[in-house]
Chains A and B, each alone.
Chain A
Amino acid sequence: MRYAMAIDTKKCVGCSDCVVACQIENNVPIGFCRDWVVEIVDGTYPQLEIEIRSERCNHCENAPCVRCCPTGASHYEDGGIVLVTKNKCIGCGACITSCPYDARYSHPDGYVDKCTFCFHRIKKGLEPACVAACPTKCMYFGDLDDPNSKVSKILKVRKSKTLIPEAGTKPKLYFLI
């Protein structure tokens, strides 16, 4: 089982509902976030293009954060989800530095925090909060090993990319382009 997320940049309007829904669902302190929206503008007026991406932890199959964690707090969970065990984390920040996606932050309570793909929800068969909230329904979540999952189906029919593939981290956050 390999959980992954695909996000349709053609439908995303960059409204940041995913950010608010995550913050409230996961009690992320004000001033921090586990997901965020990036807007990239290309061209010169009036020949322009915008790519909007809702970004978060890539839950890499070859995760540098897991490799570099001195205490084993950063680890792989079922379905390849990368998690941090709060009470094992000493807040050293090695993982923050190692992450090519800048997906982690130091929680004011002294540990490192990031996206969990809403592990507490998917255990119940529910979608992550960001996916469930998105008004444009531009986010697809599921198991890459299940050909009938929403994410497998959409990746089959749409062109996609991952971010910084050259880092060799095998990211599982796909952007439909």
Chain B
Amino acid sequence: MASRRDFIRISGLGLGAVAISASGYGVVNTIAGNPLKPSELKIDTSRTPTYCEICFWKCAGWVYKNEEGKIWKVIGNDDDQHSNGRFCPRGTGGPGMYYDEDRLKTPLIRTEERGKQVFREASWDEAFEYIADKMKAIAEEHGPECMALLTHGSGGKYFGDLIKAFGSSSIAAPSYAQCRGPREVAFQTTYGEGVGSPERIDIRDTDCLVLIGSHLGENMHNGQVQEMSDAIDKGASIITVDPRFSIAASKSKYWLPIKPATDLALLLSWIHVLIYEESYDVDYVEKYTYGFDQLKEHVKTMTPEWAYGITTISPDLIRKSAKEMADASPAVIIHPGRHVTWYGDDTQRVRAVAILNALLGSWGRRGGFYVPEKLSVPSWPHPEYPIPAKTLKDTFPGKYNLAYETLASGICDATIPEIGSQCNFKGWIVNGTNLIKTIPDSAKVIEAIQNLDLMVVIDTMPMEITGWADVVLPECTYLERYDSIRVSPHRKANIALRMPATDPLYNSKPAYWMAKELSKKLGLEDYFSWNSIEEMLDWQFKQVGTSLEEMKRIGVKNYERPYPDLYFQPDEDVEFFTNTGKIELYSTDLAAEGFDPMPVYTPHEEPPEGYYRLIYGRAPMHTFSRTANNANLTDIMDENTCWINPKVAKIWGIENGQYIYLENQDGIRSSFSIKARVTERIRWDSIYMVHGFGHSNKKLSRSYGKGASDAELITKVHVDPIMGGTGMRGNFVTFKFEPAKKEVES
């Protein structure tokens, strides 16, 4: 956390003279505490609705402009269930993305070898011509299914439509295999449904929130953090399992400072306690679950005393925390987590989480997991998409059958000829994701890229990945564009509109425009038959009882639930979408695929002498690379630090604030030095750093060389055999005091 002194420093000037606007307050929280009625407020008609693109929570809000008509601030929309009228620091700092002078400004075509960052400026027509020619050549020589889309941004929808029309179904987001995939598969195999985003967890009304490595508050998923705060107000207890004394741990009744990589043993011992002390929800388990007897037998020996030797958590603390959960049942949440790709057995670990929730009867219950509602918004009519001759599944026959989404790392692997013999990708479109920092093992990602005939990168900022592109297309920021309608699951079904608050700066353009223009070059314009985005959005809105005109005024529309079914009714008969129609404590899907039907703890590799486990996480004011160069946000945090326990620092003679290098078990040393933060908040067997720093692209003037990149140090990946997730927490680092003797790539 930056101290006061960090802030008082004489650096550059601000955003220019932004006058205080006299009008335009949509905020209805008043000092007296009585919300003003809208009629009492002078509503600024110039405010425009948006939903945030700084992270993937997608909070809806309002963009205000100053008297000069320039973007001033973004404030939450009170009707929005994601934000409840309050943005997080990243969303509040959104204007910093718009004003970033390092933005991509015009289309670029590479003129020298990949990675050299040497481009020439091109016209949009020229760029599209180049891309279309290459795509046609790929289709002719290898088949259209050899094009893939890797996306992590709203504009990806339109490129997805384009790639499907072209004849490929390979569309992947790193948020699956590199993040939440194991969680989805774990819940699908248990409850027949995934958790989704925003997570269907009823934190607001819970009595006990259990966090397994989740660091809410530092991970600033807005709605969850808000509800955690509400729950604290209502007297809920928090239990946190983390080798690091996280902010959430500091708010917890019980903090379990676990030895990293042993969480599954703890979870199994909790299951043991609940079953053998008979403190589980007997009626719920009898009515809704399958395989209880097998589970009981399975965990028979997994006592707290057994877990103590593995986790270093005392049996007393294990029993006490289990009792806390049982006392709160069913208003208890064992949080499913979000970034769960840790050790390669992640689906099984989250399965244990899912099972615990079932034993506590929290699924479908108030204060546990609610039943979300989502609107179905029809797509603009288009011709049938062609059926691809091959898909990614053909590359890994018989593997990852339970993965329901495409693996970004799978596309990467399948691009390397020795691995991807069946479906060899030749072209990538990369939208809004800095793959070099997102998919572990940067060297492998680069090897894949070197085998491509075409890589197009669409982004607002120059990133590591743009340096490797053949064509770079500058997207305007979310404050300057329309996008697809936000349709998200929540307590009430809802939709939100993003519209431009201003014209795009420079020669940047929205994704829908790029995809439509490209479709013309490829002869696929029938798939994009709308005349304007407004026409398409208005048509879509009219299918769900509103219009573009109304949405411009309200920004967000919530739909009341037709039935009071947010939770299961008492004794309601519920059929789950599993093979047995029950909540599967014993997974028939996993058994059929030849995996353990119930989670089994297996020890993971431990750090060698002098090495420490590399743990990474989030800071509330940053979203990975996406915010790394945002002036408003780097002003609060402009580099990451390496958290080191004081005992360890003493052994190495490392002082607080000293810059050091990290080297991993494979001899990979960080390209840049990182500041040591000597703190009691981290275990002695681990170090911690925030993900998304250590940028090597010199075009990022505020973030180049600031801090170290964890992605670079994650060269050992433990792949989840069930769904192909890339476990990244099996890497160990040691301290070095000199840079590696090699040229730093830029």
Contacts and interface: CB of A to CB of B under 8 A. Distances in A.
B88 interface: yes
A108 B13 contact: yes
Nearest to B224: A135
Contact of B18 (A21, A27, A31, A127): A27
A29 B255 CA distance: 40
Nearest to A105: B8
Given A13-B247, A30-B14, A24 B93 contact: yes
Interface string A122-163: 101111000111111110011100001110000000000000
Given A125-B31, A135-B86, A15 B620 contact: yes
A50 B679 CA distance: 12
B229 A24 contact: no
Interface string A1-26: 00000000011011111011101111
B383 interface: no
Contacts of B222: 135
A136 B75 CA distance: 15
Interface string B674-687: 00000111111000
B13 A30 contact: yes
* Count class of interface residues, chain A: 35 or more
B430 to A, nearest CB: 29
B218 A13 contact: yes
Contacts of B8: 32-33, 102, 105
Interface in A21-49: 21, 23-33, 36-39, 41, 43-46, 48-49
Interface stretch (B438-446, B477-485, B584-592, B629-637): B629-637
B247 A14 contact: yes
A43 B158 CA distance: 53
Contact of A17 (B7, B92, B631, B679): B92
Nearest to A131: B29
Residue among A24, A33, A36 facing the most chain B CB atoms (10 A cut-off): A24
A149 B621 CA distance: 31
Residue among B27, B36, B635 facing the most chain A CB atoms (10 A cut-off): B635
Interface string B25-48: 101011111001000000000000
B33 A150 contact: yes
Contacts of B11: 30-31
A132 B28 CA distance: 9
A143 B72 CA distance: 29
B89 interface: yes
B620 A13 contact: yes
Contact of A30 (B226, B228, B249, B635): B635
A65 to B, nearest CB: 16
A20 B30 contact: no
A48 B9 contact: no
A132 B251 CA distance: 23
A30 B636 CA distance: 10
Contacts of A135: 86-88, 220, 222, 225-226, 229
A86 interface: no
A127 B30 CA distance: 6
B245 A48 contact: yes
Contacts of A105: 8
B366 to A, nearest CB: 22
Contacts of A48: 245, 249-250, 255, 680-681
Contacts of B218: 13
A24 B31 contact: no
A10 B635 contact: no
A46 B633 CA distance: 31
Given A13-B247, A133-B86, A149-B32, A43 B680 contact: yes
A36 B31 contact: no
Nearest to B59: A135
A67 interface: no
B645 interface: yes
Given A17-B87, A27-B15, A41 B229 contact: no
Contacts of B744: none
A120 interface: yes
Given A14-B217, A31-B635, A135-B86, 11 more contacts: A15-B217, A25-B73, A29-B13, A32-B8, A50-B245, A108-B13, A127-B27, A136-B226, A136-B228, A137-B230, A148-B32
Interface of B: 1-4, 7-15, 17-20, 25, 27, 29-33, 36, 72-73, 75, 86-89, 92-93, 95, 216-218, 220, 222, 225-226, 228-230, 232-233, 245, 247, 249-251, 255, 257, 620-621, 631-633, 635-637, 645, 679-684
12 contacts: A11-B233, A15-B88, A15-B621, A17-B88, A31-B9, A45-B645, A45-B681, A122-B31, A125-B30, A125-B36, A136-B225, A137-B86
Interface of A: 10-11, 13-17, 19-21, 23-33, 36-39, 41, 43-46, 48-50, 52, 55, 102, 105, 108, 120-122, 124-127, 131-138, 141-143, 148-150
